[in-house]
């Protein structure tokens, strides 16, 4: 197994598998968050279920954190090895003529997204961990708020225009990252023959997901 991760193919396949998992998570996360616009009460109910379900909290959440860390670490490793292997070729072949700037600098968009994840953890995940595991409060309620607190907390975060802009910029970078990464992940697992169809699906995915999250942030900013 260690030999698999040391090989170029093994690293690319493992990178692709972590990408698939994270892309599915983004779709699921957007599906829940859009409820905060459509039906705040349902958003609260679903958020409370996800936040207190033991399978989600103690099985899926650790897997998600591992996938995020693994994906970015493996991305940096692949980028370093690719630059070392192709450094001399770039000067001869002019890589810019055959690929976009973002496809050749995925690590830059990756660092931007990593910074956004840190902000997202500070805004939502750390307070949630503090409430449930340190304070021991799994009720999902807060004083002065009817029902569960999740919608109230979400709206409160998006009152700050600087935070809304930061989220919007981060999701634009996420879209650019996905635009290349979506097709690349499928190619890494042997689906290169479907490239044309995958490119169309990838473009749609890389537009819909970031636009959806940006829309949620803007909606709550202008309607709080």
Kindly report, residue by residue over 166-203, the tens digit of the pLDDT. Answer: 999 999 999 988 988 888 888 887 776 777 788 889 99
The phi and psi torsions of 216 (rounded to 5 degrees) equal: -60, -45
Return the pLDDT at 192: 65
Residue 94 has pLDDT above 50, yes or no: no
pLDDT band of residue 112 (cuts 50, 70, 90) is confident
Mean pLDDT score, 51-72: 94
Residue 92 has pLDDT above 70, yes or no: no
Q: Tokens for 82?
A: 């690719």
Structurally, how many domains does the chain consist of? 1
Return the pLDDT at 102: 56
Query: What is the rounded CA–CA span in Å between residue 176 and residue 122?
Result: 24
Give the pLDDT confidence of 157-174 residue by residue, as tens digits.
999 999 999 999 999 999
pTM of the model: 0.86
Determine the angle formed by the axes of helices 150-157 and 40-52, rounding to 10 degrees.
110
CATH code, domain with 183 = 1.20.1300.10
CA angle 17, 78, 10 (to 5 degrees): 45
The phi and psi torsions of 151 (rounded to 5 degrees) equal: -65, -40
Q: Which structural domain, as residue segments, surrounds residue 96?
A: 2-222
Q: Which of 111, 95, 81, 100 is nearest to 12 (CA)?
A: 81
Return the pLDDT at 38: 97
Give the pLDDT confidence of 120-152 residue by residue, as tens digits.
999 999 999 999 999 999 999 999 889 999 999
Query: What is the rounded CA–CA span in Å between residue 176 and residue 111?
Result: 13
Question: To the nearest whole number, what is the mean pLDDT of the chain?
Answer: 86
């Amino acid at each position: 197994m260690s030999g698999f991760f040391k090989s170029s193919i093994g690293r690319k396949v493992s990178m692709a598998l972590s990408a698939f998992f994270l892309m599915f998570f983004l779709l699921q996360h957007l599906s829940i968050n859009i409820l905060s616009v459509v039906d705040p009460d349902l958003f609260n109910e679903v958020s409370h279920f996800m936040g207190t379900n033991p399978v989600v909290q103690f099985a899926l959440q650790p897997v998600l954190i591992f996938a995020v860390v693994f994906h970015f670490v493996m991305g940096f490793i692949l980028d370093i090895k690719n630059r070392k292997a192709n450094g001399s070729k770039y000067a001869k072949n002019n890589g810019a003529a055959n690929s976009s700037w973002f496809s050749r600098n995925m690590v830059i968009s990756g660092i931007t997204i990593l910074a956004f994840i840190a902000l997202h953890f500070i805004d939502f995940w750390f307070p949630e961990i503090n409430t449930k595991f340190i304070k021991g409060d799994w009720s999902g309620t807060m004083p002065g708020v009817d029902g569960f607190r999740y919608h109230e907390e979400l709206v409160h975060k998006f009152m700050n225009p600087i935070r809304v802009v930061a989220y919007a910029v981060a999701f634009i970078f996420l879209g650019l990252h996905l635009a290349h990464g979506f097709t690349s992940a499928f190619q890494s697992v042997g689906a290169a023959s479907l490239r044309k169809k995958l490119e169309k699906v990838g473009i749609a995915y890389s537009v819909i997901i970031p636009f959806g999250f940006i829309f949620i942030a803007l909606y709550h900013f202008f309607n709080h």
